[in-house]
Amino acid sequence: MIDISRPLTPGHPNWPGDLPFRVEPGMRIARGDSVNTGELHTSTHTGTHVDAPWHYDDAGERLDEVGLEPYLGRCRVVTVRAEGGLVRPGALADLPEALPPRLLLHTGQPARWAEFPADFAALDPELVREVARRGVRLIGTDSPSVDPLTSKTLDAHHACRETGVLILEGLNLSGVPDGEYDLVCLPLPLAEVDGAPARAILLPAGTLPGGGA
């Protein structure tokens, strides 16, 4: 089992403008309470997280309407490099014509972010369209977004909307060998939201029932 989630430590950097991640103390046994608790403050797009279509399309599905099936099953991890800031269709040149339903892109982000990575590899919308043509229904990246930090048009997000490809961002793929695995990605079960932090792990291919589904 390989954990590909980013640990949410104090001060974990969030997208500029989002609520900073913090856990405030709640009840404390040391103060006479019967238990210790914490109060969680954060964005729905903290660390390793999924984007529901409603995040970038007002008519799109909210997270509880998506279901878990897209986040469970056969996936492929592939190391890619950006050209001019974007991962382009040429990154798929050595891959088979038919791909598993889930594709995770290792662009070279480190396991931990000391500060928010303003310069990261985003996705060319044509890459999204090409992986969809090859059978991909979920695309994941170790970058904080599939679009550049300063993008206002969100072209890669909208290419995902057009093709029905779901988005998983902020993975920790540092040290993960390329190859096929079974993905288990469980977003927090938040109702009527645009996304949620997730715990994501990789298992040996064929561990989950259902094969490449």
| Contact of 191 with 64, CB cutoff 8 Å | yes
Residue 169 known to bind ligand: yes
Residue 61 known to bind ligand: no
The verdict on whether 55 is a catalytic residue reads yes
Q: What angle separates helix 155-163 from helix 125-133, to the nearest 10 degrees? A: 20
Catalytic residue among 41, 55, 106, 158: 55
With CA atoms as reference, report the closest residue to 187 among 20, 75, 63. 63
Residue 45 known to bind ligand: yes
With CA atoms as reference, report the closest residue to 183 among 207, 152, 148, 147. 207
- The CA-to-CA distance between both ends of the chain, in Å, stands at 19
Give the single-character DSSP code of 62. P
Residue 157 known to bind ligand: yes
How far are the Cα atoms of 57, 148, 179 from residue 153, in angstroms, in the given order? 12, 10, 33
Beta carbons within 10 angstroms of residue 204's beta carbon: 12
Which residues make beta-bridge pairs with 106? 79
Residues recognised as catalytic? 55
Q: Known binding site for Zn(2+): residues?
A: 45, 49, 51, 157, 169
Q: Known binding site: residues?
A: 15, 45, 49, 51, 157, 169
Q: Known binding site for substrate: residues?
A: 15
